[in-house]
Structure 1
Amino acid sequence: MLRTFRRFLLATCLLPVGLAPAFAGAACPPAGSDRASLQALKAADFALADTAARERLALGLAGCLGDPDPALRDGIAFEALSTWMRRQQLSDATLAALRDRLRPLLVAEDPRGFQRPFAALVLAEVARTDRIRPWLDAAQREQLVADAVDYLCGVRDYRGYVDGEGWRHGVAHGADFALQLALNPALDAGQLERLRDAVAAQVAPAGHAYIHGESLRLARPIVFIARRDLHDAGDWQRWLQAVAAPAPLPDWNAAFASEAGMVRRHDVLAFVTALYLLAQEQDDAATRERLLPGLRAVLKEMP
């Protein structure tokens, strides 16, 4: 069963996304603005009464998502875009244009390692707008699911926060993208399973111990997938057994004989514990009943 699960996981992580070439040469700060004006906008809580100017700037700020300065990349570009989307201050046309600018950035060359994770984080906000007020059609929504699966499976830069550089946090941002899609009732069981298995692909990457809260971020979409009541307790127990398997170790006791084994144990235990705590706190008894038996079983197997 574990071998079958890994083959399916590999297939999930190789889904094509059909992205167009990334837009190049984007200026940051965008044309018509400078650092001082953007800082003033942030100080004003991103209030911009001119609708046309706000929508132009929203598209321009996509070019700042790879900027090495965290004050521009995270503190202004991401915060402005998130704020405007959560206030429903961007038109559907602008949201579509922003999506089309961001999707290619998920796979574009990214030597500094900032652009891809911040494109994923803003796409999570785009996905949230469709959850709150549907504006995507089924094919466009499926496109985002494919993007989220492909991005999360493909993360290999595991840097979280670096002093002087700020956040990259690719796995956490990919998990947030999956979360916003998993919360959307328009997704079907197959789409949710692909998101679930993309999460599984990053629970315990070989040789890397998570220290920046990634395990909790990965657990969040899983608990909301479970809330959809599309998979029974037996299905969840089988999935959890596969995710929490000691392989390539022969058993969990062998983890104590190598650094690589301890890293895997650390990551698997962090994920399962985070998911257990989230499941235990669910107000929906059916969700608890779907997840907790499998979680208790895998926790008992880990020394």
Structure 2
Amino acid sequence: MINWHRVREENFALPQGAAVNALLAELSEMLTSPDPEIRDDLAFTTLATWIDEGVVPDDRLEPLGDLMAQRLASEEVWTRSFAALVLCVIVATRGVCEPSWVGAFETWYPHESDLRGYDQKLGWLHAVAHGADLLGELGLRKEIEPRRMLELAGQRMSAETNLVWRDKEDARLAYAIGKVLTRSDLTREDAEVWLAPVAQMLSAGGVGATPAPATNTLNTLRTLYVLLSRGVRVSPTEVVAARWNEHLLDHLAEVLHPATPWMW
């Protein structure tokens, strides 16, 4: 067994004499652990670093991604959530993206029912946030229609639930949407049409407490409005405006208005 604490302490240097394939198998298994230190602090952190730095060979990225895509249908939320996060790292840092991964993600993300951010025993679960991170990266890829990811985001924020998101889940989803909206090939129709079902839900109103899906949607769209008004950070040194930015800000205001018509 590898001493993964030592690996972390030594800046994730590859253990001498260890076979990469065996290390990847062990890390992949650790990602399914309910122990947050094993899963998050050791397994994910090490694996993400090795993917980013090229330690994971090119020919292992597709099998690793295939395994993560399969895990999106796992029984445990932490396994599903961290599988999405590993896929995000592969797509973002190595540019590998298989169509089957996208299909598995679309099947899972809007239907995930465990929307807890942090659990005292299990640590970070963050399915909404981790899925949002992957959605944002997929939405930047030229082979994937941006409208496809925007509609998926709308489905996720408005999905039935009794839980109001916390732990910045709405901010992570808003940021993902903002990234997709920076696509230079985005049409004005595609930039706005995904909001139609969301607008219909928000305008329905009703008597009594605001339902959790409406609250999640309002919080996400309000954060998106602030993001678009300031610019979307697409790299540590680059902030860009969304495509059709002024139209989007006006349209978002129209979508949000029925929920609080007394505000403006």
In which range does the TM-score fall when normalised by the shorter chain? 0.7 to 0.9
Quick one: distance in 1 between partners of 2:22 and 2:121? 30
**Which residue of the partner structure matches residue 236 of structure 2?**
none
The alignment's C-alpha RMSD in Å is: 2.2
- The 5-angstrom pairing of residues 1-303 of structure 1 reads 32-33=1-2, 37-48=3-14, 50=16, 53-110=19-76, 113-131=77-95, 136=96, 141-184=98-141, 186-189=142-145, 192-206=146-160, 207-246=162-201, 251-252=204-205, 254=206, 257-259=207-209, 261-282=210-231, 283-284=240-241, 286-303=243-260
Alignment deviations for residues 62-114 of structure 1 (CA, whole Å, 9 cap, x no partner)? 1111201100000011101111111122111121221132222111333xx32
User: Contact 2:118/2:125 (CA < 8 Å) preserved in 1?
Assistant: yes
**Cα gap change, 1:118 to 1:204, in 2 (>3 Å):** same
Query: How many residue pairs were aligned?
Result: 251
2:61 maps to a residue whose letter is L
Kindly indicate whether structure 1 or structure 2 has the higher relative contact order, using CA contacts under 8 Å at least 6 residues apart: 1
Code of the residue aligned with 1:75 in structure 2: it is D
Moved over 6 A (4+): none
**8 Å contact 2:70–2:104 — kept in the other structure?**
no
TM-score (normalised: structure 2): 0.85
CA distance in 2, matches of 1:286, 1:108: 37
Please give the TM-score of this superposition, normalised by the length of structure 1.
0.75
Task: Please tell me whether the aligned partners of residues 59 and 97 of structure 1 are also in contact (alpha carbons under 8 angstroms).
Answer: no
**Structure 1 residues 290 and 125, CA gap change in structure 2 (3 angstroms):** farther
CA distance in 2, matches of 1:160, 1:166: 9
* Structure 1: runs of 5 or more not aligned: 1-31
Secondary structure in structure 2 of the residue aligned to 1:158: coil
Mapped partners of 2:189, 2:150: distance in 1? 15
Change (3 A) 1:270 1:62: same
Q: Separation in 1 of the partners of 2:135 and 2:64?
A: 18
**In 1, Cα distance between equivalents of 2:189 and 2:60:** 43
3-state SS of 1:245 partner: helix
Indicate if the aligned counterparts of 2:174 and 2:223 stay in contact, CA closer than 8 A.
yes
AA of the residue aligned to 1:60: E
Tell me: CA distance 1:212–1:285, structure 2 relative to 1, closer, same or farther (3 Å): closer
Matched AA of 1:178: L
Paired residues of 2:65 and 2:90 also in contact (CA < 8 A): yes
Letter in 2 for 1:215: D
1:8 aligns to what?
none
CA gap 1:42/1:228 in 2 versus in 1, 3 angstroms: same
Amino acid at match of 1:230: D
Unaligned runs of 5+ in 2: 232-239
**Alpha carbons 2:35, 2:122 under 8 Å: kept:** yes
Q: Secondary structure at the match of 1:47?
A: coil
Amino acid at match of 1:232: T
Query: What secondary structure, in the 3-state scheme, does the structure 2 residue paired with 1:120 have?
Result: helix
Q: 1:93 and 1:52 mapped to 2: Cα distance?
A: 18
Pick closer, same or farther for the CA change 1:85–1:51 going to 2, 3 Å. Answer: farther
- Deviation of 1:262 after TM superposition, in Å, equals 4.1
- Over the matched positions of the two proteins, sequence identity in percent amounts to 28
2: CA distance, partners of 1:108 / 1:182: 24
